Structure 1
Amino acid sequence: MANTPYPESYYAASANAVPPRPVLQGDVEADVCVIGAGYTGLSSALFLLENGFKVTVLEAAKVGFGASGRNGGQIVNSYSRDIDVIERSVGPKQAQLLGHMAFEGGRIIRERVAKYNIQCDLKDGGVFAAITAKQMGHLESQKRLWERFGHTQLELLDQQRIRDVVACDQYVGGMLDMSGGHIHPLNLALGEAAAVESLGGTIYEQSPAVRIERGANPVVHTPQGKVRAKFIIVAGNAYLGNLVPELAAKSMPCGTQVITTEPLGDALAKSLLPQDYCVEDCNYLLDYYRLTGDKRLVFGGGVVYGARDPANIEAIIRPKMLKAFPQLKDVKIDYAWTGNFLLTLSRLPQVGRLGDNIYYSQGCSGHGVTYTHLAGKVLAEALRGQAERFDAFADLPHYPFPGGQLLRTPFAALGAWYYGLRDKFGY
């Protein structure tokens, strides 16, 4: 069977050393079979193992191969649609539960890093940067909204103050969230995988799930083996393919592009982001950036609907970087890559159960780093019979893309074009 390596990226090139993991061959039994060794799967596995379950994880390629090992590395609170939008959709009781969970993912990441001594360049502090007065007004409302749910580590930044934290003259202000932050995302996933194994969990790489035999005692088949389990957790997200057709119809893989500069040196790096916070702007099609542990700038943005790999990522993203930081015009780009995330029509995550024993979480819609860690805890709670928080997510309304899989890409791209115009003209 073909060996799928990591795609070339800064994260793959700077990943911590890990032992090779086996391919599943033959039959194994577990309490829970987790499909996918990204953050959702690894977080689920860790919470389950800590509660005494026997867990087997199947990964089609390598740990963190998908979005978990390729994202911008930013710890951003809440969901891709904020709590006020959820409240209008589902009412105050469900919104209250989801609102209090909106800030839990970042805490889980920090607990994991501390408990299992994960080396992933964790830094505190994330900035939402406003380009227009209207965006600044939205941040002021967002601060009041988040504080309603007990989230108090927030500071509004005026035009002078934001210049102190990011050397970019595009912004009229912003909001600093000290419970936000940034990490080396692949090393976080690799550290969580090592934690899973330290608790007796087994991870098989290069072992894609090709078929699920549903029923009272479900079986997950791979090319060379199978896992018999009491429960299955489907955590493939944008890399699930058509393994579970019911899930594919309600979501669309999208690509986002990332570049990484050569090392900038301490002085230049500190001049760009003096406090080493990460930054994302407030546009619908947003740009995001941060420094790495070895003082490179990671800069991402752009969305390719339908998850094609664009031919020249640097040509798409470098102009965005230079608009923010013209002082980097002579700096070399060492790495450029794309990674897929899973978009839902509502832009809210999809959580649920198929039959009595197949659980799933998917569709983070670009807010995956924190949400996936929360999702693992919520899924583990549901398997232990504590379903209140699981049900709060499972009851969110979801819709198939108009026109099915054939038309979902052009429809979404048309929507993005519209919002791109809104960003451009400051609506």
Structure 2
Amino acid sequence: MTQHPSSPDQPRPNTPVWDDEPWAALPPLDGDVRADVCVVGLGGSGLAGVTELLGHGFSVVGVDAGMVAGGAAGRNGGFLLAGTYDFYHDAVRKLGREWASSVYGQTLEQVARMAAETPDAVRITGSLRIADTPGEEDDCRRQMQALQADGFAVEWYDGPEGRGLLFPADAAFQPLRRCRTLARRAADRGARLYEHTPAVDIRHGEVVTPAGRVRCGAVIVAVDGRLEGLFPELRGHVRTARLQMLATAPTDEVRLPRPVYARWGYEYWQQLADGRIALGGFRDFGGEGEWTDAWEPSESIQARLEGFLRERIGVKAPVTHRWAASVGYTPSGLPVLEEVRPGVWAAGGYSGTGNVIGALCGRAMAQMAMTGGSALADTLREPAAVAGRAAAVSG
């Protein structure tokens, strides 16, 4: 492998580094169809829901406004990390040890499940949280103590990337490959999947699209970013932000065996199996301008990313890809996971944790669509919200 000059080739416009394999496009929906359940959104969470439904013998129609994993599910950093938006010790403080431990355990199991489902797309590498300041280093130690107290694997790390924590069970993956694998398998099992088919009206028993409609017993909507655009009633509960990334040509300038989070998780990078570096971050430097539905990369954030690539990571290889994605955030950091309209379940607002939490939410929505309830969904929700619903039912 050779090193590269610092002057970049022309990057591919708004194309993720993951989009490097052929894909036979699915047709748009044309006409009316029927199914037990309609799944809106064919990213990681939607396809997890499709898989769960098929496993219980339900007929499924899935639609996506773009391509399979064309949104954040195929445009992210390729990290599979256990836990939630909050670091573990913060989750314990906010929501209690029992809740934090249960959810962390579920996410660990989900990472292992994803590796078993799609071994050609997932690498169990571990991950690093690297501290940028003494204060953040102290926070890492508090996180380590809380995890170890509850029996979870974590180690102190001091190495080339810096000082912080090593999580041995975390993974790196090729997100677009995984989603396309799940979509192909679902189609082989009888799911009818349609691309370039936006849902223009979603109601109990029906999803209307520009050229047809799906009549169904239940609807699952699995959309992270722009969820509030589909459901105006969720405005104030979820807000869309733009996350930006770049990637380089293959290089041997550095050796990075596992994904890295730094500066409280605002910057994140990994080296792919072929030597390419994928790097994202600096959303907070964009201010209010990054709270947007737009998903074209911006010059200011891309300039910061490239400066970080050259100065902090020490890579001079040319930038070959620049891209962005729309991601939903909630005030609590916990996902939206609820019946937003009669017979319509929605999940999103994963606050940057959609690769693992989103897959869990997709499975939980499928369970709710099948039975009206889900122990997994109750695990993922804020404890006070679960208690409030239980009291309302018993009352």
Q: TM-score range by the shorter chain?
A: 0.7 to 0.9
Mapped partners of 1:29, 1:7: distance in 2: 36
Matched residue, 1:294: 274
Q: Secondary structure at the match of 2:324?
A: strand
Q: Is the 8 A contact 1:108 1:374 kept in 2?
A: no
Matched residue, 1:79: 84
Q: Is the 8 A contact 1:350 1:393 kept in 2?
A: no
Matched residue, 1:134: 135
Q: Is the 8 A contact 1:121 1:293 kept in 2?
A: no
Q: Secondary structure at the match of 1:131?
A: coil
Instruction: Tell me the CA shift for residue 99 of structure 1.
Output: 3.8
Matched residue, 1:25: 30
Q: 1:349 to 1:396 in 2, by over 3 A?
A: farther
Mapped partners of 2:312, 2:36: distance in 1: 50
Q: Is the 8 A contact 2:115 2:124 kept in 1?
A: no
Mapped partners of 1:55, 1:78: distance in 2: 30
Of 378, 382, 388, 2:368 maps to 382
Q: 1:33 to 1:149 in 2, by over 3 A?
A: farther
Q: Secondary structure at the match of 1:237?
A: coil
Of 270, 288, 303, 1:315 maps to 303
CA deviations over 1:304-325 (Å, ceiling 9, x no partner): 2224434325313101112312
Q: 1:80 to 1:394 in 2, by over 3 A?
A: closer
Instruction: Tell me the CA shift for residue 124 of structure 1.
Output: 1.9
Q: 1:95 to 1:156 in 2, by over 3 A?
A: closer
TM-score, normalised on structure 1?
0.79
Matched residue, 1:229: 216
Q: Is the 8 A contact 1:260 1:334 kept in 2?
A: yes
Matched residue, 1:272: 255
CA RMSD of aligned residues (A): 2.3
Matched residue, 1:345: 331
* Structure 1 residue 213 corresponds to structure 2 residue 199: no
TM-score, normalised on structure 2?
0.85
* Structure 1 residue 195 corresponds to structure 2 residue 176: no
Matched residue, 2:3: none
Q: Is the 8 A contact 2:82 2:104 kept in 1?
A: no
Identity %: 25
* Structure 1 residue 45 corresponds to structure 2 residue 25: no
Which consecutive residues of structure 1, in runs of 5 or more, have no partner in the other structure? 1-5, 399-427
CA deviations over 1:377-424 (Å, ceiling 9, x no partner): 2223333435222123344579xxxxxxxxxxxxxxxxxxxxxxxxxx
Matched residue, 1:10: 17
Mapped partners of 1:317, 1:289: distance in 2: 10
Instruction: Tell me the CA shift for residue 86 of structure 1.
Output: 3.9
Q: Secondary structure at the match of 2:357?
A: helix
Matched residue, 2:5: none
Of 40, 46, 58, 2:63 maps to 58
Matched residue, 1:334: 320
Q: Secondary structure at the match of 2:356?
A: helix
Amino acid at match of 1:28: V
Amino acid at match of 1:288: Y
Mapped partners of 1:146, 1:374: distance in 2: 21
- Give the length in aligned residue pairs: 364
Amino acid at match of 1:301: G
CA deviations over 1:108-151 (Å, ceiling 9, x no partner): 2112114xxxx326352211112223222222222232344443
* Structure 1 residue 125 corresponds to structure 2 residue 111: no
Amino acid at match of 2:239: M
Q: Is the 8 A contact 1:285 1:302 kept in 2?
A: no
Q: 1:76 to 1:187 in 2, by over 3 A?
A: same
Which consecutive residues of structure 2, in runs of 5 or more, have no partner in the other structure? 1-12, 284-289, 386-395
Q: Secondary structure at the match of 1:57?
A: strand
